[in-house]
Amino acid sequence: MAAQRGRDLLLKLDQTGSGSFITVAGLRARRIALSAPAVDITSADSTGRWRELLDGAGTRAASISGSGVFRDGTSDVQTRSLFFSGEIRRWQVVVPSFGTLDGPFQITALDYAGQHDGEVTYEMALESAGELTFTAI
């Protein structure tokens, strides 16, 4: 796979639940982490004392984080509203030349920062809250 521009990794929100996604404004950095921890079932009877794992039994999860600046008041208000309500919404992560991850997420962290001579920045983190689908490009 050839190198890709970081700005092409998009985080999108279904604002109304209608399936119409908009790109979250002002994100300068984004990160997605997928995990599927294994379930260790090793016992004294394990052959040769090798570790054994239960096939397909781990819990899968996705974490998304991003940071940037809010370009308009609407996206700031909506993000704050989702954080304080704890509402779970459908989000998409578009990874160029790879695919789209789609499903329910909850905003689990929202940080604001700023210097006296610069813009206000934010960081947010989302955690998966149900089954996700992946569509390859």
Report the pLDDT value the prediction gives residue 33, as an integer from 0 to 100. 92
pLDDT at residue 1 is higher than 70? no
pLDDT at residue 99 is higher than 80? yes
Q: Does some domain include residue 1?
A: no
Distance CA 115, CA 130 (A): 37
Q: Does some domain include residue 23?
A: yes
* Higher per-residue confidence, 71 vs 82: 82
Report the 10 Å Cβ neighbour count for 22.
13
Q: Does some domain include residue 31?
A: yes
Tell me the CATH number at 30: 2.30.110.20
Q: Does some domain include residue 73?
A: yes
Distance, first Cα to last Cα, the chain: 13
pLDDT at residue 74 is higher than 70? no
Residue span of the structural domain in which 29 resides: 6-136
Coil, strand or helix at 74: helix
- Condensed to tens digits (0 to 9), the pLDDT of residues 21-51 reads 888 867 788 888 999 888 999 998 899 889 9
